[in-house]
Amino acid sequence: MMRKTIIFAVFLLIGKSVIAQTPQGYDMQQNLANAGQGDALGTNTIRAVKPRYEGVVGTPYFSEKPISGNVVVADGRKFTGFFNFDWMDNTPMYYKKEASSYMIIDNMVVVQLNLDYSYDSLISFDRLKKADGSFFFGERLGQIDSARIYLSIEKTLKKADFSGAYSAGKKYDEILNEYNYFICPNRTEGCTPFKPNKKGFTQLFPLRSEQIAKNSFLLKQTRPELIGLFLRNVNR
């Protein structure tokens, strides 16, 4: 028992040491947990997720399945593995393959989550600061000049309604999505909400008005993937 205690203590002591290779699996989990040691986060950097939304229509997560990728912590270290993003709690999650379950990563330890969404598409979630000083994670859609545009999805659980004449076909719990967009001028100023339409972009980027007008048809449906395409076209 004493030997196990000593070994565990050694793991805690090396939590702040430099890691030569990008950790994966158990090493990734242990080192990522240790990344929060020595500050107010204590030992709660990684904690288990209890299933809460089984049988519910919709998902609180970015993806139905875990995706390979990496997280970057505040001191610059990078950890690879399988991850997801919980929009409901606005926090990154590490997928523990041996247990087939998710572990929540404290969102004040991680500064960026990168997911290999497809062979040529990388989805990045950055920890951002609002104008009021509060922090949140946003999905980076693209940028115009030096300003970045982010998506934040507010998910709410709507309980089934079995009463009333109009409840037919709605006898199930459902997760609803509300899409919010933010513009972040740079890394020091706070992000502010805005409407991703032709007028909004033109007011913010008057020197890009010609490119904005040319690609404004992509903004009519306010779909994140089309806004991302719009940003790529305008920023060329």
Conformational region of residue 80, where left means phi above 0, alpha means psi within -120 to 50, and beta covers everything else:
beta
Tell me the C-alpha distance between 121 and 63, whole Å: 14
End-to-end CA distance of the chain: 62
Confirm if 149 and 141 have CB atoms less than 8 A apart: yes
List the chain domain ranges: 22-194
Q: Which two tokens stand for residue 4?
A: 């196990």
**Does residue 217 surpass a pLDDT of 70?**
yes
pLDDT tier for residue 40 given thresholds of 50, 70 and 90? very low
Q: Which two tokens stand for residue 184?
A: 């972040």
pLDDT tens for 113-144 read 999 987 668 999 999 999 888 999 999 999 99
Three-class SS of 58-106: CCCECCCCCEEEEEEECCCCEEEEEEEEECCCCEEEEEEHHHCEEEEEC
Give which of 143, 123, 140 is closest to 233, Cα–Cα.
143
Of the listed ranges 39-48, 49-58, 170-179, the one predicted with least confidence: 39-48
In angstroms, the Cα distances linking 120 to 16, 148, 160 are 34, 20, 39
pTM for the whole structure: 0.77
Conformational region of residue 55, where left means phi above 0, alpha means psi within -120 to 50, and beta covers everything else:
left
Tell me the C-alpha distance between 210 and 186, whole Å: 24
pLDDT of residue 3: 45
